[in-house]
Amino acid sequence: MSKLNFGIVGAGTIALRLLRHLVQPDVAERVSLTAICDPVADRAQAAAEKFGITRWFTDEQELLAYDKVDAVTIASPINFHFEQVRRALLAAKHVHCNKTMATSVSEAKELTRLARERTLCLVPSPGEMLRPHNRYIKEVIRRGDIGTLCWAVCGAAFGTYHQDESERQGNDVLTNIDPSWYFRKPGGGPLYDMTVYSLTALTGILGSVLRVTALSGARIKEREFRGRLVPCDADDNTVILLDFGDSLFAFAYGTAAGRITEAFNGSYFGTRGSIIGLTINGEPLEYPGADIARQAGAPGVEARSQHIGNQWLLPHINELHRDLPEQHVFEDVMQLVDWVTEGKPSPVTAEHATHVIDIIDSAYRASTTGKTQVLSTTVE
């Protein structure tokens, strides 16, 4: 297969950003945008017209029945992901799914099994170990450059990021997208949406978690969006203790506000030094491509710029894509494209994604029961 017929499930913020990549000339040679669906008919139609997509639908089952769709990306709210990925696999479609592909370990295991049994490609975001700095940190720790690793920390905070996104501030159907689902059960909260990046990198670097315990709850009961109050019942304040075995521990957080780590990078503390963000013992990490990453962003804001520039180092990010948002999501989609069209299995695996979902699922269960949870999955 030289060109992949591609369908988009969901026409919200992520999809609109992703489509800006998929219409670039280097991608158009490999991907044909044949369908998009969204329950808001005007949004599906407007997105199709804006990006030259052949057909639009209001139901993903109509999209899956369309014979000009070979693969899909699931870009809907997280609470829909499991059923939509499952239906796509049952319809014999290859699948990329935005994070996370499910909200429970049992669901994630079922999707992994379905893809394997049907010999279908399943690439679940986020592909954090595609990033050179994460692979380099793994090697630095393995070599013992900071001595014996003792503990680590990772995490992320909601803040008001989703309320402030530009796609939510306008008056037309493509710029007035409601973020309320991020704050509601099921599927809402910073663990599934943001901390998942940090946990994927942490486990890619350190390996599988054996046990977790946690405290969790909903701290912010209401948020404001465009002059109206949004009730919030999803847990937005979670702290997790992770046991990697042999007395190596880590701390992960998904909070309503505040952070103690840089971007989605973890911090690692050993007997002879530490890796904090993109530094080792206070000096810049010299991972492959670091000089290119430092060129990104505004002059004089090196730390933030380099975090942005790390996306420039992803395999499919060239000059056509550097100034477009969600480069990492586009990269994960192209991992699927390469796998289907060229037979190159992606290092972004359903097994690793399932392990991270197991951590989150187990953390919520530990918080509810007050009991440490033993995980049933590994990163491989």
Instruction: Write down the pLDDT at residue 307.
Output: 72
Domain 4-124 has CATH 3.40.50.720: yes
**C-alpha torsion 53→55→56→60, nearest 10:** -110
Instruction: Write down the pLDDT at residue 297.
Output: 60
Instruction: Write down the pLDDT at residue 372.
Output: 98
Compute the average pLDDT of residues 174-193.
97
Q: 261 and 153 in contact (C-beta within 8 Å)?
A: yes
What the block records as the tokens of 355 is: 């392990």
- Domain 129-313+356-374, second-level architecture: 2-Layer Sandwich (3.30)
Q: What's the pLDDT tens digit per position in 112-138?
A: 999 999 999 999 999 999 999 999 999
What the block records as the tokens of 248 is: 């190596």
Mean pLDDT across the chain, nearest whole number? Answer: 95
Q: Is the pLDDT of residue 87 over 50?
A: yes
Instruction: Write down the pLDDT at residue 305.
Output: 53
Q: Is the pLDDT of residue 249 over 70?
A: yes
Q: What's the pLDDT tens digit per position in 271-287?
A: 999 999 999 999 999 99
Q: 219 and 157 in contact (C-beta within 8 Å)?
A: no
Angle, helices 81-90 vs 105-117, to 10°: value is 10
Q: Is the pLDDT of residue 302 over 50?
A: no
Distance (Å, whole) CA 109 – CA 377 = 9
Q: Is the pLDDT of residue 306 over 70?
A: no
pTM given for the model: 0.96
Instruction: Write down the pLDDT at residue 300.
Output: 45
Domain boundaries, the chain: 4-124, 129-313+356-374
Angle, alpha carbons 149-155-158 (nearest 5°): 170
Residue type for position 21: H
Instruction: Write down the pLDDT at residue 5.
Output: 98
Q: What's the pLDDT tens digit per position in 19-45?
A: 999 999 999 999 999 999 999 999 999
